[in-house]
Amino acid sequence: MNGIMEGTFARGAAAGSVGGDAWLRSLLEVEAALARAAARTGLVAETAAEEVARACAAPTALDLPTVYRGAADAGNPVPALVRALQDAVGPHAARAVHVGGTSQDIMDTAAMLLARRALTLVDADLAAAADACARLAAEHRDDVLMGRTLLQQALPVTVGFKAATWLSGLDGARSRLAAVVAALPVQYGGAVGTLAASRGSGVDLRRELAAELGLATTDVPWFTVRLPVADLAGLLGAIAGVVATIAVDVVLLAQTEVAEVAEVAPGRGGSSAMPHKNNPVAAISARACARRAPGLVATLLAAMEQEYERGAGSWQTEWPTLTELLSTVGSAVSWLVESLSVLRWDTARMAATVAAADDPQLAGALAEALVPALGPGSAHEAAADAVRTAAATGRRLADMLPEVAAGHPGLDVAALLAGAAPDVGEAGAQVDAALATHLVAVQSDPSSIGGAP
């Protein structure tokens, strides 16, 4: 990625974990684990396996320029990397390199390691964002805020309720993330999946390789059945969607005409042309990163259709796409944490907005008051007619009530006006429930989702 853009689109620890030589390190981790697993199953000597592991731990001693050049010639980097490792350990330990494996075994398993490493960091940022939402929900539990549906003013809610819905989304994303990471599988099948080169020990070797890397084992290879990658794609797309929804709420609430929230971060949010601007840069950047995710998800899902025992082009498509998806979603979550940490809510302005828009609340109360005389359907229509008439004549609904009462003598106008205070229903109870659920999640705290060594 162009260096000048990395501040926005390669933000935070998760994005950093998939950059640079991350793929090389993951490939070497798999080769080292494969050598050790082969030794445990009796296919190679332990001393040879340890030599391979030492070579994998010192990549600078390998002929990396040749590896990088050879990656294009072979269609993937594994063949050149295997040769470099064999050269590094010499003929006495070369048999312990890449035992019974094929390039896809190493690439797919490395992808799972890369994803797990990045997702562990994404999870940490999701946890930080969730904690920030929990604080907002508790602090602003009962502060009224105008609810909006289809971008129009609807009925009052509370800041606490909005923050609790954000919190629920983030906690839900974390639980889904934990499930996907726990199921990430090893890949080991040899040339076409039959384990023919593993001398009758392939199933055992696969199980030992999985244990070595902390991955799930499988009954058969998943060479062209790409559900693990699809699970990752779906998870990352869902996380991006949750982040984007929170970010766009902040962006809309920070509009000058609304101005109910602002990011207060000294030195950030300015304009090159307009010195008065305070743009919600962190929320904007979170949204920008998240919006890149659906296209990448679509590419990974489209690549699920693969031929025979190895995809010709579709499999190869996954490597950069998954890397970019991990990076952009990790960046989105990192930006969201920054946005939530500097949000300031203008509670007075929010309350004034709700007070100035009492017609929706009053319309609901009017409809309810007319139910005994008219029934639910007709009462709703009568209230809607009054609202439309008020709008057409440029009046407030409160000014229309005497006319409505003239046609319905039992209507108590004074009581309707007295009861027009903001009604947020059971918002507070739902906030409390979301906070209690979050507390349980925090106390059970899987501080590490991967459970990997």
Find the catalytic residue in 175, 271, 378, 448: 271
SS3 of 153, please?
A: strand
Residue 271 a catalytic site member? yes
> Is the Cβ–Cβ distance between 179 and 15 less than 8 Å?
no
DSSP 176-215: HHHHHHHTPBP---TTTSS-GGGTT-HHHHHHHHHHHHT-
SS3 of 160, please?
A: helix
DSSP 259: -
DSSP 216: B
Q: What distances in angstroms separate CA 343 from CA 171, 263, 277, 358, one per listed residue?
A: 20, 5, 16, 27
In 215-355, the DSSP E strands lie at 261-263, 343-345
Residue 175 a catalytic site member? no
Give CA angle at 420 (419, 421), nearest 5°. 95
Residue 236: CB partners within 8 Å, gap ≥ 6? 293, 296, 297, 325, 326, 329
Find the catalytic residue in 54, 207, 310, 349: 310
DSSP 149: E
Nearest to 95 by CA among 29, 35, 30, 24: 35
> Is the Cβ–Cβ distance between 115 and 327 less than 8 Å?
no
Q: What distances in angstroms separate CA 204 from CA 41, 42, 66, 209, 219, one per listed residue?
A: 7, 10, 33, 9, 11
> Is the Cβ–Cβ distance between 158 and 427 less than 8 Å?
yes
- How many CB atoms are located within 10 Å of the residue 159 CB? 25
DSSP 157: E
Nearest to 322 by CA among 231, 397, 406: 231
Q: What are phi and psi of 263, to 5 degrees?
A: -85, 120
User: Which tokens is 228 given?
Assistant: 């693990």
Dist. CA 309–CA 319, nearest whole Å: 18
DSSP 226: -
The catalytic site residues sit at: 271, 310
